[in-house]
Structure 1
Amino acid sequence: MGPDEREALRAAILARHRTLYAFCKATGITKSVVLQLLAGRYPGNVERQTARIRAALADAPVLDVTPGAVFAVLERIGCARCRATDKRRCRSCRTLWEKQAEALTGLFGPADS
């Protein structure tokens, strides 16, 4: 397994889970296996462990998608790009982002929290 494949596997894990440790906790795959595999130092059967991780990723649902989390991302990105000097318009942006966040989380179903 080359460095590019390891980085792609790390990106796939982080796309579904907040951290590598969250992935390990959710899937039951030990941290030492995941960390050694991603570092390229796993002494065992790399192909078998990679297949286990990929299978766990295929079964893993999207986690932590709440309206509040989506709203926070929309607000951070929107405010960073905003050039408005009149901050009275912020209320209308927040209302829009709240509605967008609710609509987006409706696509993923109810959150398990």
Structure 2
Amino acid sequence: MAHELKRAILARYKSIHAFCRPHPELKRSTVYQVLAGKYAGHAGRQLAAIRAALDGTAPEERKVPPLTADQIADAVQAFKCGECRRLDKQCAACRTQTMREAEVVERLLAGMR
């Protein structure tokens, strides 16, 4: 797939460098690594971004399912309990505070959508 994309770029542009110039959203070194098959990261995502730039379309955004305050609180509470050194554990009070914090994070995430 990377070789086909490289051929398509070179058919339209004189070089990979010339392709990257009008696309500042793409890092040149990343494009070279992806097209050479040597990219250490998520190559599929990068290939999609390069293809979208070549086609003149926006890359498909990753959909993140909405998190509820309960899910956030469960994750944070599991971490807190694992790190807790208190002999007189006040789990109910700690859970109440964690839930309040999670509700703030939930509102923040809802505002980003």
With CA pairs under 8 Å and 6+ residues apart, which has the higher RCO, 1 or 2? Answer: 1
Who wins on radius of gyration, i.e. which is larger? 2
**Normalized per residue, which structure has more helix?**
1
